[in-house]
């Protein structure tokens, strides 16, 4: 095989709704979430150096710039989700290879935007394409093993996710709304967020915060979003970090049609139907915050 370079786009996501339903017997938590892909994205490129039954499989990741390029170099090779996802997939298709990824990194890490999970899904897809294989069970099982959010990025768009996040149901919906991402540099530990939320009972049935049916019914009108959507983690995180709650309130004060925290934090986002209001809000929020204006991916 030649060393032709394949390229892919690895998009960020936000959780428009996130209900934590309780701890499972395997230690994970069941969730019900509505996720949406954004135009904000990293770019990955794959070069397969060698494929041979005689070689030892290895995956390297090279920093190729971007607004968050410092992140790539700070991750230990064995802990980079690009490497983990690629290795998981190669193992499942019984292929030994030496591969190299380069990444232009624009999605902040530890911000609830799914950058690492998105990178892993993109890496799996690029290797699948390079090997000329179908999108079969190996792709999805490798994604699920790599991380709870990774399977979502194999679908993209808007999707409901349940279980620990690996059960994905695409939602036939698209919109041209504008999204402001606000991050003030606070790092929220996910395990700590779950602990503070205290949803540690065993899951044994539907929970009253599972609004998936209502969301599918009413999400066509932006006015309905804050009636049927919320992020349970806000109840745990905002008392610990009032600044994050203040950002949400400020977004509403600046004309956001919907605002919430994504994931377990710490990015807070606002959805705007009006582009002019979104631009004005960005200008107002820039003092002391990292602010990004983007849109839902079409």
Domain identity same for 166 and 73: yes
pLDDT band at 96 (very low <50, low <70, confident <90, very high): very high
Which residue out of 42, 149, 210, 257 is catalytically annotated? 149
Question: For this structure, is 94 an active site residue?
Answer: no
Decide if pLDDT at 151 tops 50. Answer: yes
- Check which CATH number belongs to the domain holding 253 and give it: 3.30.70.890
Residue range of the domain that includes 291:
178-295
Domain identity same for 23 and 80: yes
- Of the three residues 137, 153, 171, the one that is the final residue of a domain is 171
Domain identity same for 203 and 161: no
Four-point Cα dihedral 185, 147, 203, 218, nearest 10:
70
Domain identity same for 13 and 142: yes
Residue 292 backbone phi and psi in degrees, to 5:
-125, 130
- Check which CATH number belongs to the domain holding 149 and give it: 3.30.230.10
Average pLDDT over residues 2-6: 78
Going by C-alpha positions, the residue among 140, 142, 214, 166 that lies closest to residue 29 is 166
pTM of the entire predicted model: 0.93
| Percentage, residues of the chain above pLDDT 90 | 77
Mean pLDDT over the full length of the chain: 92
Looking at the structure of the chain, the number of domains it has is: 2
Domain identity same for 210 and 272: yes
Question: For this structure, is 136 an active site residue?
Answer: no
pLDDT band at 85 (very low <50, low <70, confident <90, very high): very high
Largest CA distance in the chain: 62
The two tokens of residue 92 are 């499942």
């Amino acid at each position: 095989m030649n060393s032709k370079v394949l390229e892919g786009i690895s998009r960020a996501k936000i959780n428009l709704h996130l209900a934590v339903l309780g701890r499972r017997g395997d230690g994970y938590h069941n969730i019900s979430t509505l996720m949406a892909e954004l135009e904000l994205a990293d770019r990955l490129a794959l070069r397969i150096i060698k494929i041979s039954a005689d070689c030892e499989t290895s995956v390297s990741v090279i920093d190729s710039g971007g607004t968050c390029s410092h992140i790539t170099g700070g991750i230990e090779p064995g802990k980079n989700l690009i490497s983990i996802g690629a290795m998981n997939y190669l193992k499942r298709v019984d292929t030994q290879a030496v591969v190299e990824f380069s990444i232009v990194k624009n999605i902040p890490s530890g911000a609830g935007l799914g950058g690492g999970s998105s990178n892993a899904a993109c890496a799996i897809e690029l290797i699948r394409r390079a090997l000329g294989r179908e999108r079969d069970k190996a792709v999805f099982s490798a994604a699920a093993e790599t991380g709870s959010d990774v399977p979502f990025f194999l679908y993209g768009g808007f999707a409901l996710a349940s279980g620990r996040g690996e059960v994905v149901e695409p939602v036939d919906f698209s919109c041209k709304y504008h999204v402001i991402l606000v991050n003030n540099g606070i790092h929220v530990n996910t395990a700590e967020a779950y602990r503070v939320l205290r949803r540690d009972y065993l899951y044994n049935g539907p929970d009253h915060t599972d609004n998936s049916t209502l969301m599918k019914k009413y999400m066509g009108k932006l006015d309905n979003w804050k009636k049927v959507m919320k992020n349970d983690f806000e109840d745990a995180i905002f008392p610990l970090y009032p600044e994050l709650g203040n950002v949400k309130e400020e977004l509403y004060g600046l004309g956001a049609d919907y605002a919430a925290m994504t994931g377990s934090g710490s990015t807070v986002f606002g959805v705007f139907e009006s582009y002019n209001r979104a631009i004005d809000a960005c200008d107002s929020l820039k003092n002391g915050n990292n602010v990004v204006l983007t849109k839902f991916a079409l």
